[in-house]
Chains A and B, each alone.
Chain A
Amino acid sequence: MSTLSALSKAETRLFLRDPVTVVVAVLLPTLILAGLGAVPALREPFPEIGMTFVAYFAPSLLVISIVQLGLQTLPTALATYRERGVLRRYSATPVSPLAVLVVQLLVNLVTTLLAVALLVLVAVVGFGVPAPRHPLDFGLAVLLGTSAVFALGLLIAAVAPRARTAGGIGALAFMLTLFFAGTYLPNFLLPEAIVRIGAFVPPGVAAIKDSWVGAGADPLVLVVMAVTTVAASALAARLFRWE
């Protein structure tokens, strides 16, 4: 068995042993969706927004998975590994600690995509939300939005001196991104300026929403996500301390 696959297996196992992450990141958004969807009025078209509330809100729920894994789980895990000398322990073996970082990144990315798929499936099959209208845009919006958030997560892991600091910064970033993504308060209740800004705050909820239930993703949002990914990960790579 190759080193990388052994490492992936080990990290996946550790990941699955942390029930809180799995529940919050994978199940919670879908459970909230199901809870809202159980209210008949929310499955009726809503004149102000031109669709059902469930369809309008589903993209914002999807953001929970992305930011929980990218801004909380990933940076805390990496900072903990550094603080407790796990990265150092690996660096004394033929394995590069970079491999550990890459595997962490992969495990969280795959989990994000699974969580997104679960939510979309349940929304479409269970609660009459249309399947993504622009599937290509949607895939791109989710991928680029997730990449941007994960790059910011890496940046947090790079600069946080301790695991607790990483957790703290991550929690703050988590709440801010959810606020801008309209997860706490639906967009139509937020001031126009905040919705404008929120469109471009990673993971760029506007692009996800417009490609799923609207007229297609705004290319500008996608570009901003791509630029954020490149800039934040380059900065993280420069600043990352291995011990």
Chain B
Amino acid sequence: MPVIEVDSLHKRYRDHVAVQDVSFSVEEGEIFGVCGRNGAGKTTTVECIGGLRAGDGGSISVLGLDPVRDRAALRRAVGIQLQASELPDRMRVQEAVELFASFYPDPADPDELIERWGLGAKRRAAFSKLSGGQKQRLSIVLALVGNPRVAILDELTTGLDPQARRDTWAAIEQIRDSGVTVVLVTHFMEEAERLCDRIALIDTGRVVAIDTPTGLVASLPDGQRLRFRPSAEFADTLLTDLPEVRDVRRKGPTVEVTGRGDLLQAVTSALADHRVMAVDLRLDQPTLDDAFVALTGRPSGE
């Protein structure tokens, strides 16, 4: 039984359609990615799931609740971390966590959460004195302090340095491991690939694909690419005859082979049979970013 079901969600703002006909479901205990470039409708979608906006059409069920009609019950069961929402400058870390804990019937222990998320040394620090990474961690703590069954995290790592980003990723896996279903909004494909069990790719308000990261990558027609310099001359047909190989190209001394399946093994053993060595061999695995480009026709960064 899915924890979240979105069925044909529509939402339009005055002059443009933000979300059209979005449907997906999220299973209990998974990290579900809602991915796409900026302005694709990701935030609008999760804001409708969180009951912060009402959709114009379609239906949403979260833990069996209607986000708009059962607003109060939903708020107690869903923790939301929002983009661009801050706390008062002078509010201190511990005060904020204790205050938010008081909003929920069965909150987590504020002290323990603060320690677990590495804010123990910053308990008495004012919000304005925290670094970007610390603010994000506090924001996660506030989303989790009510012991939610579902956590919605929107663009959590935007603006963080690489180290803080990696720390946050580890933290998100920690949330999932504690049994909370996570909906992760991101325009950052590396993040989605690393963290998500399943992903809905959204482009211009529509879902273009829903699959596991591996599934999305595997759907690429010529996924893998090998590059090497051969130690001796050989005919292209030696490789193009292999079932795994799709195309062979030569760029000066370098040979570039694209294909799928066990490409590396097939190419190197065919070459070895003809006493050719592959020098400076490199295998490029396609990434989710490549899958995104293939599915939408444009890079994710745009």
Interface residues of A (CB under 8 A from B): 1-3, 6-7, 10, 13-14, 17-18, 81, 84-86, 88-89, 91-95
Given contacts A10-B95, A18-B90, A91-B52, contact A3 B102 (CB under 8 A): yes
Residues of chain A within 8 A (CB-CB) of B85 are: 84-86, 88-89, 92
- Report the minimal beta-carbon distance from B164 to chain A, rounded to whole angstroms: 20
Q: How far is the CB of B80 from chain A (nearest CB, A)?
A: 4
Distance in Å from the Cβ of B58 to the closest Cβ of chain A? Answer: 21
Residues of B at under 8 Å CB distance from A?
A: 50, 52, 72, 75-76, 80, 82, 84-88, 90-91, 95, 98-100, 102-104, 142, 146
Contact sample, A vs B, 18 pairs, CB 8 Å cutoff: A6-B98, A6-B103, A7-B99, A10-B99, A13-B95, A14-B90, A85-B82, A85-B84, A89-B86, A91-B52, A92-B50, A92-B75, A92-B80, A93-B103, A93-B104, A93-B146, A94-B72, A94-B104
Contacts of A18 in B (CB 8 A): 90
* Distance of A14 Cα from B128 Cα, bound (Å): 13
**Inter-chain contacts of B52 with A (CB < 8 A):** 88, 91-92
Q: Are B103 and A14 in contact (CB under 8 A)?
A: no
Please give me the residue from chain B that is nearest to A81 by CB atom: B88
Taking a contact as CB atoms under 8 Å apart, the answer to whether A93 and B100 are in contact is yes
Give the chain A neighbours of B100 by CB distance below 8 A.
93
Check if A14 sits within 8 Å of B91, measured CB to CB: yes
Q: Are B87 and A86 in contact (CB under 8 A)?
A: yes
Of A6, A84, A94, which one neighbours B76 at CB under 8 angstroms?
Answer: A94
**A86 and B88 form a contact (CB under 8 A):** yes
CB-contact partner of B90 in A17, A93, A95, under 8 A = A17
Interchain CA distance A1-B88 in the complex, whole Å? 21
From A7, A14, A89, A94, B75 is in contact (CB under 8 Å) with: A94
Chain B residue nearest to A95 in the complex (CB): B103
- Nearest chain A CB to B228's CB is how many angstroms away? 52
